[in-house]
Amino acid sequence: MSYFLQQLINGLTLGAIYALIALGYTMVYGIIGMINFAHGEIYMIGAFVSLTTFFVLGAVGVTWVPLALVLVLIAAMGFTAVYGWTVERIAYRPLRGSFRLAPLISAIGMSIFLQNYVQLLQGARVKSLPPVIHGGFQLMESNGFVVQLSYLQIMIMTLTIALMAGFSIMIAATPLGRAQRACEQDMTMAALLGINVDRTISTTFVIGALLAAVAGTMVTLYYGVIDFFIGFLAGIKAFTAAVLGGIGSLPGAVLGGFVIGLIEAFWSGYFNAAYKDVAVFGILILVLIFRPSGLLGRPEVEKV
Amino acid sequence: MPGAPLLGVEELTMRFGGLLAVDQLSFTAYAREITAIIGPNGAGKTTVFNCLTGFYRPSAGRLALHRQEGVLPLERMEGYRIARDGGVARTFQNIRLFAGMTVLENLIVAQHQPLMRASLYTFGGLLGLSGYRAAERAAVEKARYWLDRIALSDSADREAGTLPYGAQRRLEIARAMCTDPLLLCLDEPAAGLNPRESADLNQLLLAIRAQHGVGILLIEHDMNVVMGISDHIVVLDYGKKIADGAPAEIRSDPAVIKAYLGEPET
Amino acid sequence: MPLKGLAKDSALAAFVALILAIPLVGLNTVERDGRIVVETRFSWVAIAVVAVFVGRLLLGLVPRRQKQATDKRPLAALLDKHARALGWCSLAGLVIWPFLPFSSTYLVDLASNILTYILLGWGLNIVVGLAGLLNLGYAGFYAVGAYTFGIAAQSFGLGFWEALPLAGLLAAAVGILLGFPVLRLRGDYLAIVTLGFGEIIRIILINWSSVTGGPNGINDIPRPTFFGLPLTARAAGGGETFAQFFGLSYSPQHRIVFLYFVVLGLALATNVITLRLRRLPIGRAWEALREDEIACRALGINPTSVKLSAFAIGALFAGFAGAFFATRQNFISPESFGFQESATVLAIVVLGGMGSQLGIVLAAVVLVTLPEFGRDFAQFRMLLFGAAMVAIMVWRPRGLLSLRAPSIRLAPSSERR
């Protein structure tokens, strides 16, 4: 029982991270109907920036954890947002209106470029961060197995929920959110009504990057090791989460994220951990075959 | 000369979520006749076409295609099968040519089915068996015939996307005819054509009807085309049929006038 | 663009570059004396900023080419006109390549490597270039071909020539199996699913040690024989070797040259088959599908079976390439079949101009020989590929050389003006 509970906690934490990344995928897909293949790399960049910032802060003597955390988040979000913005400007905006494979290939090229960019500049080996946030609760014990819930895990989960709630409110109530929804429905009409479509799309990418940066920071704290390749796998899984939840739906992305995190945790806990990624990909394929609109999405009607 | 019933639409209904796009529509299109479907924008005309050609699955109703061998229930058939087994060809509101391929290639692709059979599903073709080469020559001849009819023989090797608009429309019709259809569905074929081109279109469609014995189903806004060549007109408004008859009757039908122009202020 | 506006634009770009560069270029965490310190590289940042400023300025100064309705590409058109002559000339050149005076084992082996990638490129071209389906897991089929041969050799003692058709067919079968459930999906989804497939195959290869040898792979893969004559110094079981039969003194060069001709033959066969398929209804259906799937359905073409055939034939060629790769390397491991490999082949197809056989040849030559010019190039190879893919899509989506030759003409080419 306690083993199950521990997997549950681990799965929810992992799921929260996937949810943050999945939100970025789903928002961009919602507005331009395209998967941002490079989004995983944006998350990876967020992780690297956060790690570097931690060490910089350590070097200049900022050791009070809450302050360091806030500064790291600001730095990671800030720099990663610029990366997200730049990727959209260079690789996607010029191709709006081009034949349908073009933005896809451009995105893949961007993904490859960013992976190797980081690999060349930061080295191909893993980088590690000593644990920053210590401690937590011991929930229960049975058969000598102690179920632990760390402060870090609580922080990750609450941050994800808070961000998701915040963005949902933003989408529903602010002018930006309305502009986004308008662009999703009919970009030409939105432009004719005076909405700055370019700026709306850029903002969407930036928001996605901000969320990915938070995810990257959390991963750095949680696992303590990062390398240039983490974006690739996390990207596919987060995309699976977005599709599972219903691409284009924000609550769907979060739901999907948690489900994928739980599946991964339970699979590695009870079955062969080596095949956990296969399990997640399998989910992706099954969802796309049998319920492509996902759990919370609306079925897409083909425009002829 | 009315023929036998070709397409029987019975209580066709199409619902998108809460929106009722087509509401219990019933009419019959006859072989060797030109049937026009008209109505104000948003009346559901293209939706009917999409149901007919398998792009939408109707929410209710029947679409009976009468062929020599029997009646095909189009409402239950998959899109490409309707074209292949039913002999229903269509053109699109926004022209859908294979823009990167040449004019000739567009017409050859339309003859995919007979050519595939002749190539023994590619194996015969790979081995260079002569059956395929003969079939390809026949296909080119048919393409040549249609190129002649639509006056594009000189442009056969041009990229289809580089043709002027009117030529592209004609090509789309010719491509549909290359599938040897029983029923030809044209979605606003006169859109964007100038009066002379519209007159040419009329001639083309009348000739197609006379020489190839197909039934033509036509969505159109251009009244010169509609009144000029239709044998039979169905009028839709808000998804419902409001009139059904010969052009002369439709022209003076008060319900039709009301739908298009509104009621005069008293 | 007016100069003042351009200068402002470039300054803005340089500013963005500055922000981008600070965390990843300017700073790096390194281990020194057991501790982790932050190393600063602000000179690199300065270089990056200046480079972006100058680059943007130059880009703005180059006049924008007008997009014409008929995009006349003089070089491509010239190549198209003399395509046949070019083809025969290159063939002749390729055949005598190992016998040229300046030739060496290294160059022949390099050519074998290039031809392998050409083979892969042509195979993927059918899927991506002709049918317009984005397959990001092509290396998976490559792996199936290679491992089929490896396992068949290890467990059943099959030689290269026996295993070659098996490798191709098995890869094609896997292609159909994987394609069947997912080919209804839209472009983006299909791409990610194929990516997932590629990864699944790689994970299975690493973990199913009993069959695939796990991370260590399979060794001692047999080399191809010349009609049964092995190209070794001594024949196993006391038979005749190639050298003995032809009265030559044994040289390891024989094997290298023979392998070169094997892959040359495979590549030529692929090319002939592809060109022929293009002129058959199936090939035209692939291209029509790429142009407009909805129109295809309206013409009675079953999109799923058309896509499946493209997938299967593309996989077939990858299987052949895989078997060749296994025999040339003599050993295989899962490392060679990851996303990097899929991405390389995709880059070759994209840069070469999707659909253009000749363009792919050129792209393969460039992409394979570039790393040979030095370690620096080797490191930057994938970086440049990625950047090139973005650049090509933005600047010349039809590829560097692509000028589509129609598969059939009404008037013979000599009559065209």
| Residue C45 shares a structural domain with residue C116 | no
A neighbour chains, 3+ CB pairs within 8 Å? B, C
- Interchain CB contact of A301 with B (< 8 Å): yes
Which residues from A are below 8 Å from B50, CB to CB?
304
Evaluate if residue A47 carries a pLDDT over 90.
yes
Q: Which residue has the higher pLDDT, C413 or A185?
A: A185
Cβ separation B96–C303 shorter than 8 A: no
Structural domain ending residue among the three candidates B152, B180, B208 = B180
Chain C residue numbers with beta carbons less than 8 Å from the beta carbon of A49 are 23-24
Which one of B52, B53, B157 would you mutate to disrupt binding with C, by most C Cβ within 10 Å of its Cβ?
A: B157
Q: Provide the edge-to-edge strand list for the sheet that holds B70-73.
A: B19-30, B5-16, B60-67, B70-73
On whether both C244 and C125 belong to a single domain, the answer is: yes
Distance CA C313, CA C309 (A): 6
Percent of all residues in chain A with a pLDDT value above 70, rounded to a whole number: 98
Q: Is residue C66 part of a domain?
A: no
Q: What is the mean pLDDT of residues A136-146?
A: 78
Q: Distance from C274 to chain B by nearest Cα, in Å?
A: 10
- pTM value? 0.88
Q: What is the ipTM of this complex?
A: 0.91
Please tell me the distance in Å from A52's CA to the nearest CA on chain C.
Answer: 6
Domain count, chain C: 2
Measured between CB atoms, which of B92, B126, B157 is closest to C411?
B157
Assess if residue C78 is contained within a domain: no
Q: Mark whether C119 and C50 lie in a shared domain.
A: no
Identify the domain containing residue B167 by its residue range: 96-180
Q: Do A304 and B92 touch (CB under 8 A)?
A: yes
Model confidence pLDDT, tens digit, residues B225-240: 898 899 999 999 988 9
State how far the Cα of A45 lies from the Cα of A121, in Å rounded to an integer.
12
The beta-carbon neighbor of C207 closest among A79, A239, A275 is: A275
Tell me the pLDDT of chain B averaged across its residues. Answer: 90
Q: Which residues of B touch C286 (CB under 8 A)?
A: none
Contact C40, C27 (CB under 8 A): yes
Token pair 């599908």: residue: C289
Q: Which among B74, B71, B27 is positioned nearest to B53, based on CA atoms?
A: B74
pLDDT band at B133, cuts 50/70/90? confident
Locate tokens 């939840």: which residue? Answer: A245
Residue C299 lies in a domain: yes
CA dihedral B119, B124, B126, B129 (to 10 degrees): -100
- C277 at the B interface (CB within 8 A)? yes
- Domain co-membership, C341 together with C271: yes
Give, in order, the Cα–Cα distances in Å from A290 to each of A157, A238, A254, C302, C306: 30, 19, 21, 20, 21
The reported pLDDT for the residue numbered C414 is: 43
Does B131 lie in the same domain as B259?
no
Q: For residue A140, give how far its alpha carbon lies from the nearest alpha carbon of chain C (Å).
A: 35
Best mutation target among B51, B55, B112 (most C Cβ atoms within 10 Å) is B112
How many residues appear in chain A?
304
Q: How far apart are alpha carbons C22 and C367 in whole angstroms?
A: 31
Give all chains having 3 or more CB-to-CB distances under 8 Å with chain B. A, C
* Same domain flag for B37 and B165: no
Domain count, chain B: 2
Instruction: Measure in Å the smallest separation between the Cα of C262 and chain A Cα atoms.
Output: 32
Residues C195 and C308 in one domain: yes
Do C135 and C29 have their domain in common? Answer: no
- Record: contact A79-C23, CB cut-off 8 A: yes
Minimal Cα–Cα distance from A162 to chain C, Å?
27
Residue C101 counted as domain residue: yes
CB contact under 8 A, B55 and A302: yes
Interface contact B56, partner C, CB < 8 A: no
Q: Write out the two tokens for C329.
A: 């390397």
Q: For residue C302, give how far its alpha carbon lies from the nearest alpha carbon of chain B (Å).
A: 6
CB-CB under 8 Å, A281 with C386: no
Q: Give me the count of residues in chain C.
A: 417
Degrees to nearest 5, angle at CA C229 with C225 and C235: 105
Which residues in chain B are closer than 8 Å to A304, comparing Cβ atoms?
A: 46, 50, 55, 92
Q: Are residues B54 and B71 in the same domain?
A: yes
Query: Of B126, B161, B180, which residue is a domain's last?
Result: B180
Q: Indicate if C149 and C223 belong to the same structural domain.
A: yes
Looking at residue A302, what is its pLDDT? 64
Confidence of residue B34 (pLDDT cuts 50, 70, 90): very high
Q: Do C292 and B98 touch (CB under 8 A)?
A: yes
User: Out of C36, C181, C199, whose CB is closest to A55?
Assistant: C36
Chain B contact present for C293, CB below 8 A: no
pLDDT at position A113: 94
Q: Do C192 and A111 touch (CB under 8 A)?
A: no
Does C91 lie in the same domain as C52?
no
Domain co-membership, C107 together with C50: no
Minimal CA–CA distance to C202: which of C139, C150, C146, C149? C139
Q: C10 lies in a domain?
A: yes
Pair (B101, B130) in one structural domain = yes
Amino acid identity at C49: V
Give the single-character DSSP code of B56.
S
Taking the Cβ of residue B223 and every Cβ of chain C, the question of whether any pair is shorter than 8 Å is answered with no
Contact A304 B16 (CB under 8 A): no
Same domain, B187 and B76: yes
Residues B262 and B199 grouped into a single domain: yes
| Nearest CB partner across the interface for C406, out of B102, B122, B147 | B102
Tens-digit pLDDT string for chain C (417 aa): 577 888 888 899 999 999 999 999 888 888 888 788 888 889 999 999 999 999 888 888 776 655 543 455 666 667 666 777 877 888 888 888 878 777 788 888 889 999 999 999 999 999 998 998 989 999 999 999 999 999 998 888 888 888 999 999 999 999 999 888 888 887 788 888 899 899 999 999 998 888 888 888 888 888 888 777 777 766 666 677 777 777 777 777 788 888 899 999 999 999 999 988 999 999 999 999 999 999 999 999 999 999 999 999 999 999 999 999 999 988 899 988 998 899 899 989 988 877 778 888 888 998 888 777 766 666 788 888 889 889 888 887 765 555 677 888 887 644 333
Cross-chain CB nearest to A52 (options C27, C128, C132) = C27
For residues C259 and C98, give the distance between their C-alpha atoms in angstroms, rounded to a whole number: 11
In a domain, C280, yes or no: yes
**Cβ atoms A228, C28 nearer than 8 A:** no
In this complex, the residue of C70, C299, C409 whose CB is nearest that of residue B112 is C299
Structural domain span for residue C289: 83-405
Check whether residue C197 and residue C251 sit in a common domain.
yes
| Residues A103-119, mean pLDDT to the nearest whole number | 91
Q: Which of C275, C276, C297 to mutate to test the interface with B (most CBs of B within 10 A)?
A: C297
Q: How far is B265 from chain C (nearest CA, A)?
A: 45
Q: Please report whether residue C155 resides in a domain.
A: yes
B141, B117: one domain: yes
Can you give the CATH number for the domain in which C331 is found?
1.10.3470
State mean pLDDT over A116-139: 87
- Same domain? For C281 and C201 the reply is yes
Rg (CA), chain A: 19
By C-alpha distance, which of A233, A227, A254 is closest to A160? A254
Question: What local confidence, expressed as pLDDT, does residue C137 receive?
Answer: 93
Average pLDDT for residues A205-225, to the nearest whole number? 94
Cα distance between residue B265 and residue C38, in whole Å: 82
How far is CA C27 from its chain centroid?
Answer: 35
| Same-domain status, B174 and B237 | no
- For residues B83 and B123, membership in a common domain is answered with no
* pLDDT for residue B162: 92
Q: Are residues B176 and B191 in the same domain?
A: no
Within a 10 A sphere around the Cβ of B48, how many other Cβ atoms?
28
Same domain membership, residue C352 and residue C312: yes
pLDDT tens digits for A4-41? 888 899 999 999 999 999 999 998 988 888 889 999 99
Chain A residues with CB under 8 Å of B16 CB are: 301
In sequence order, what DSSP letters do the residues of C93-120 get, joined into one string?
A: HHHHGGGSTT--HHHHHHHHHHHHHHHH
Neighbours of chain C (3+ CB pairs under 8 A): A, B
Residue C133 included in any domain: yes
Residues of chain A contacting residue C29, judged by C-beta atoms under 8 Å apart: 51-52, 55, 122, 127
- The whole-angstrom distance between A113's CA and the closest CA on chain C is 4
Q: Same structural domain for residues B31 and B151?
A: no
Whether residue B187 sits in one domain with residue B75:
yes
Contacts of B82 in chain A (CB under 8 A): none
Portion 111-170 of A in contact with C at CB < 8 A: 111-118, 120-123, 127-128
| Nearest residue of C to residue B98, measured between CA atoms | C291
Identify the residue among C183, C296, C299, C417 best suited for mutation to test binding to B, counting B beta carbons within 10 A and taking the highest.
C299
Whether A52 contacts chain C with CB within 8 A: yes
Residue C416 is predicted with a pLDDT of 39
> Is any Cβ of chain B less than 8 angstroms from the Cβ of C416?
yes
Closest by Cα among B249, B201, B234 to B30? B234
Burial of B20 (0-12, 13-18, 19+ CB in 10 A): middle
Q: Could you say which of B81, B99, B157 has the minimum Cβ distance to residue C410?
A: B157
Which residues 6+ apart lie within 8 Å of C262 measured at CB?
C224, C324
Final residue of a domain: which of B149, B180, B211?
B180
